[in-house]
Structure 1
């Protein structure tokens, strides 16, 4: 949401336009550049008009060539000014970028321009886009909270020569009116990086990789993905799924659940959400009540295993997520590999004594 950026340029300035396009893509924006987006045989005029009309931001690359050139680029200047007329005076919509010592057209003098000098100019552009996006999101955030986050990726930090596949994805949130996104993002990223560090450290230890049979080396991996279970102006509940293969009999799968309340941002434990005297007694009680009938009758030993593991472990907390209707207790990290997730239970919130009001 609010990530579409139209890049207007003269064909002689394609090098600068392409560099800007790549930079914006790396920073989670959706830039539009005709050389990158137009398909062979497409109606280029319609495609450009549509992209221009749908753009949240217009970046005008100004050069001695472009400002003196008649034709299409002058029309793009005029269209940008027309669209700006329906914006607030304080809105950032048109960003002129000077890529040489050209004279800024009088019609664009009202807009603060950026002088191109490499990455620092791109960072200035990014700051402007981010600042305006926050303003837009103040009104739109509640309507579509899920669409405001973006997916961040990280590579494994491994010594050269280790052929280990990785695919790491986790959510990050922009600043917004409801919570301190920097805090939430840090908690989430730390959880993933902690697991990545454990894997990388083990695989980097002397001889760990070297002694593995060759047929196993090609199957080593670390991956993560996520599910946002619930988000509102007051709460966030999500699951980080983490999977890896170290070279043993089977891959390893685990979850990290992260739950937050806002203003101020704080992590929620199960006891922050539900009132109970003893967590062990609570877990035993609800698994007895809410486990599905199949697991009760046919595989009751799995439920007993969960209760025993939790009781013997002496856990202070349990993985869970919630939404406005249900609390889900998740046993993924308590069961053997073959049964992970088999006995997660959903409990209606109206059956619980709650400390929060999702």
Structure 2
């Protein structure tokens, strides 16, 4: 988490037992919190290490109590150092978040102009996260914070890198940051996805070793630049799962055209873990695959060319569809929605380039009987009548067609 903004926790030693739980809380939410008791090890120069952490912090949370205001020491010095750094910030930024551990504690004069949080308030955890996210939004150029009815909140930051060369590359990807006061470890989502993004970026950097073989500065910059752009959807929360879908555009330097595709991530919320494959959620994998393939073939075959002819023709060839959904690996891009499992298919997967990208949903009643019991519950599918007729009109499909 070296590239994650640092949050410095400042407190007096006597308050360590009261501050430590909030350090653990922030770590569970995926924040890069720093607390001297946890970070300092034997042999380190503690004064130097604390100052270095303060200097690199994106935000400082200062815990104030009757102990700290009545003592001279590091809390007072940390406040002064923080105020010095505060002069570098915009007025709208929150660089220092003062927190009252004791409601009757005197507020330090140095912090009198700042809004204090009260650690004894029932909603303190929520308020602390919102304050931190506000600052990190500015620090990492994130989008605004969104919180849905499930209580899960999120924002997005951007990883971008460009190199002008022969070939060059232009790499951009959004990173979702999830948080919740109720569910633990949602912050791991960003770390898992960052691993995928950084691996892709590493591949583009390695291409610099191929400079000049097939490209030259005589070409336009676009023609000699590998391009990769990954835009992340808002999280889709259904039952005990949360899913994200990336829409990816990439262009290989010198190619006739770019391509569009998808990458999805689905997670079990509590305990929080990455659902690495769709196959893993089923007990009866063989029957589940057959049923999913049958439903997808049916739905994708319904897509028609948009034309003025009286009788519209199918857009996709059944043979192309079957080749594009032939196994579990072909079905790796999925998200869990309230309607069912929605699959995404990129350029060329189930049709020619001109037909575009496609989506199709398999309703839960089609595959609920094959699910592992935990996933029947997690996907709100345990109540379904497995013997009921298939409600085919629940499955939906759509396509984007390049003009």
Q: TM-score, normalised by structure 2?
A: 0.51
Which of the residues 255, 258, 280 maps onto 1:272?
A: 280
2:261 counterpart residue number? 254
> Higher helix share goes to which structure?
1
Closer/same/farther in 2, CA of residues 163 and 15 from structure 1, 3 Å limit: farther
2:265–2:274 contact (8 Å) kept in structure 1:
no
Q: CA deviation at 1:257?
A: 0.9
Give the CA deviation at 1:215: 1.8
SS at match of 2:233: strand
Please say if residues 141 and 176 of structure 1, whose CA atoms lie closer than 8 Å, have aligned partners that are also in contact.
Answer: no
Deviations 1:135-187 (A, max 9, x none): xxxxx9774545x2221221237588976444321212246432423432222
Q: Report if the CA contact (8 A) 2:262-2:346 is conserved.
A: yes
Matches of 1:345 and 1:92, distance apart in 2: 37
| In structure 2, C-alpha distance between the alignment counterparts of 1:353 and 1:17, rounded to whole Å | 55
Partners of 2:329 and 2:123 in 1: CA distance: 56
| Compared CA separation, residues 186 and 17, structure 1 to 2 (3 A) | closer
Matched, 1:289 2:298: yes
* Cα distance, 1:84–1:287 mapped onto 2, change above 3 Å: closer
- For residues 252-296 of structure 1, give each alpha carbon's deviation from its aligned partner in whole angstroms, at most 9, with x where no partner exists: 322111111131513242223455415663443112333363349
2:142 matched to which residue of 1?
none
Alpha carbon RMSD of aligned pairs, Å? 4.8
**C-alpha deviations, 1:34-72, integer Å up to 9, x for none?**
xxxxxxxxxxxxxxxxxxxxxx9569xxxxxx959xxxx
Instruction: Give the structure 2 partner of residue 235 of structure 1.
Output: 241
Task: State TM-score, norm by structure 1.
Answer: 0.57
Change (3 A) 1:200 1:206: same
8 Å contact kept, 1:261–1:268:
no
Superposition map of 1:173-252 within 5 A:
173-174=178-179, 176-207=181-212, 210-211=215-216, 213-217=218-222, 220=225, 221-231=227-237, 234-247=240-253, 248-252=255-259
Q: Secondary structure at the match of 1:269?
A: coil
**Secondary structure in 2 matching 1:330:** strand
What is aligned with 2:329? 315
